[in-house]
Amino acid sequence: MYDVVLLSVAEGTPCSPRVPVLACADALRTAGARVETVVATSDAEIDEVVQRFDGGARTDGLIWPDSDSKLRLVVATAADGQLRAVVRRMVRRYAPPPSRRPADLADGRTVPDLPPLAVLPLDSDSTTDLAGQLGLPRTPAAVA
C-alpha cells in the first residue's frame, strides 16, 4: 500500500485540516494507506513536503523525483491558485537549468515526470475550477 501526504495550502496562520480533508484521510486509511495531513502556509512549507519525493543522488548533482516511490500526494484546494502553488514548487525543484540539461531527459521535455498528484477540491459544487473542467472526482471518498 501507499503512504499519502494530504497537503492543504492555507493563507495566513496555520489551521486545522478541513472536514473534506479529514474524510479523505479516513477513506485512505480504510483502504490501508498510511496518511499524514499537512497544512502549509508558505512556499517553504510546501517545499518541505515536495522534497519527500526526491530520488537518490545523481552523478550530475541534479535533484529528480523518485520514480519508484510509494509516496503519493493529494493536494486539497479551495482555489486553483493553491494547486498552482504546489505544482510551481515541484517544477522549481525538479527542472534542471538549461545549462545543465541531462542526457537522460527526453527531447522536448524541460522537467522529468513529476510525482503522482491527486486533487481534492474543497468546493464540491464548482464546475469552473480545474478539477471540474477535467472531470476529476470531487468527493473525498472518490478522490481517495
For the chain, domain boundaries: 3-143
Say if residue 55's pLDDT is above 90. Answer: yes
For residue range 66-118, list pLDDT tens digits in order: 989 999 999 998 889 999 999 999 999 999 998 999 999 998 899 999 999 99
Q: What is the CATH number of domain 3-143?
A: 3.40.50
Q: What is the model's pLDDT at position 122?
A: 87
d(CA 98, CA 74): 30
Question: How confident is residue 1, by pLDDT bands cut at 50, 70 and 90?
Answer: low
Grid-cell match 535533484, residue found: 63
This prediction's pTM: 0.89
